[in-house]
Chains A and B, each alone.
Chain A
Amino acid sequence: MNNRVIRVDQLARVEGEGSLIVKVSDGKVSDVKLRIFEPPRFFEAFLRGRKFTEAPDITARICGICPVAYQMSSVMAMEDAMGLTVDDGIRRLRRLLYCGEWIESHILHIYMLHAPDFLGYEDALLLAKDKPEVVANALRMKKIGNDVMCVVGGREIHPINVCVGGFYRVPRREELQPLLDPLKWGLDQAIATAKLVSTFEFPDFEMDYEFVSLRHPEEYPLMGGRIVTSSGLDISIREYEFHFEERHVPHSNALHGLERGHGRYQVGPLARFNLNFDRLSSLARQVASDVKIAPTVRNPFKSIIVRAIEAVYAYEEAIRIIEEYEPPPLASHPLTPSAGIGCGASEAPRGMLYHRYRVADDGSIRDAKIVPPTAQNQPTIEEDVRSFVGKFGGLPREELTWKCEQAVRNYDPCISCATHFVRLEEA
């Protein structure tokens, strides 16, 4: 077992790009490389010359799981470029749409992708065979997120109702009301989910992370606010690129996100939870206390518990927004294009998503920069795998390979699929 290679062949069918390779030589980890497929590069080029109004719908196509994140970061960047602050009612409605996405994405990840790891099932299908009621329940929980997206966003995948300046159409009160009972049911289920996943067995594994997330004066972060880090940085979104950079690494087409003068960092549920615990609702904080999880969580495997707490928050926040809802006076603010540079950031389910656009006088996009959460987490994922194999290298081959996949899945990367195609080879 002194020399071996753990290879996770991701997306073999996409020209072989993307994989996880861990090399162990003389009992020590000599190399960890995570290669990921990263669509935003193409989209950045594709956006050049398009109208500023097209950015939300085009970038929403980058991801089938988190289109709202792409839409929200892009509309906020465009509105920043044009000096527009949207009406509070529009902002609340956007937040509701975002809750729908968090519900969908977190429940999908918890039950379909992550829980099978902890329960010893190869995948959710085998889990469904043994516990059909658990999976059927999870699908129902997730569908509530779809329904929120459908009512607010126009449809559940790639919402079509979001525009720079607001929405094409805002829902009437009575359109949102039918969501309340299912959301209340979902909230109870999310609390039960947090309790369930907190009973899982977690490896004894902690890392010293630099956490990075948005922070809002009053809310648990979904959109906007400032960017904060666990080492004390507190900057405006416009200052992001002064403090964070993306570097090419020889082994990957994807760029690695790094904090200048600091190095790798982590975005996502653990970062949000650790840096914004005081912004969670009292119920979400109570559930966290009941399941005995509190900041600072440094065990990445426990991200499944934090996702469940965030799901509690998302159901509750959606209920609150709907109960207080009054349609905003205007569906959207009229906008005349003007030249400018704008930045926007929001919290995709898997972490902070940053957009920057330069727009010309005629409203055409001159250039675009999109920094997705998975690119930012990539160096941290590699370090987790390196440390995990260093600590647990003595585990049987099959178990270690599985745990390495799981270490990648902790981050719910857009490539979590990949980790199902694993081979462990002798070096």
Chain B
Amino acid sequence: MNGVSASAPSLLIGVGNEFRNDDALGILVAREIRRRHIPGVAVVERSGEGTALMDTWGGAALIIIVDAIFPAKSPGEIHRLDAVQEEIPRGFFHYSSHTFGVAEAVAMARQLGSLPQKLILYGIEGKEFGEGVGLSDPVLRSIPALIAMIEEDLHALHAV
């Protein structure tokens, strides 16, 4: 009952808030992937509340989560984490400030033994997280490269 096709082998979850500038990037990337109609790939948008994320990932073989990242090195920097293999630093994702976000959901699922088989987290370091609509320039410039990386992951899975 999570609104996602249980049979889709891959699920892309765009996380963010479209009214908080760069926090919208996960949502906007999800919409772009949806527009491309990649076979076998379901796409959903989420606010980033952790327990709802855990409900979402169901039985997909590959899950990709896209979210904004709190600026660490430089805005626009793309990060890719294999969440099954690596621990995620808490506070890494922008939304994780909301107590129970992406990082906490992954840690909780690890604790409860309910991690998906393959879980990849993508993020771009954001610059502007104030109220407003529209991405900052450094984030905008990185979006095409991020989409290319996501497509590569999706195609790699489906080529196997």
Question: Which positions in A face B, CB cutoff 8 Å?
Answer: 10-15, 39, 41-43, 46, 61, 64-65, 108, 112-113, 123-125, 128-129, 132, 135-136, 139, 142-143, 146-147, 150-151, 154-158, 416-418, 420
Contact = CB atoms under 8 A, between A and B. Distances in A.
Given A13-B91, A42-B19, A157-B49, 20 more contacts: A14-B97, A15-B130, A42-B131, A46-B19, A61-B17, A61-B19, A108-B100, A112-B51, A125-B104, A125-B108, A125-B111, A128-B112, A135-B108, A135-B112, A139-B54, A143-B55, A146-B55, A154-B3, A157-B52, A417-B97
A41 B130 CA distance: 12
Contacts of B49: 64-65, 108, 157
A146 B108 contact: no
B47 interface: yes
B122 interface: no
Given A42-B131, A113-B99, A150 B54 contact: no
Contacts of A416: 99
B158 to A, nearest CB: 26
B51 A108 contact: yes
B144 interface: no
B65 to A, nearest CB: 14
Contacts, number: 94
A142 B51 contact: yes
A15 B129 contact: yes
Interface string B38-63: 00000000111111101100000000
Q: Which of A143, A154, A156 has the most CB of B within 10 A?
A: A156
**Is the interface on chain B under 10, 10 to 19, 20 to 34, or 35 or more residues?**
20 to 34
B112 A150 contact: no
B111 A417 contact: no
A12 B50 CA distance: 20
Given A42-B132, A135-B112, A147-B1, A156 B52 contact: yes
A124 B100 contact: yes
Given A43-B19, A135-B108, A157-B46, A151 B1 contact: yes
Interface in B89-126: 91, 94, 97-100, 104, 107-108, 111-112
B44 to A, nearest CB: 8
Nearest to A58: B19
A39 B52 contact: no
A142 B98 CA distance: 17
B79 to A, nearest CB: 15
A113 B55 contact: no
Contact of B98 (A135, A147, A417): A417
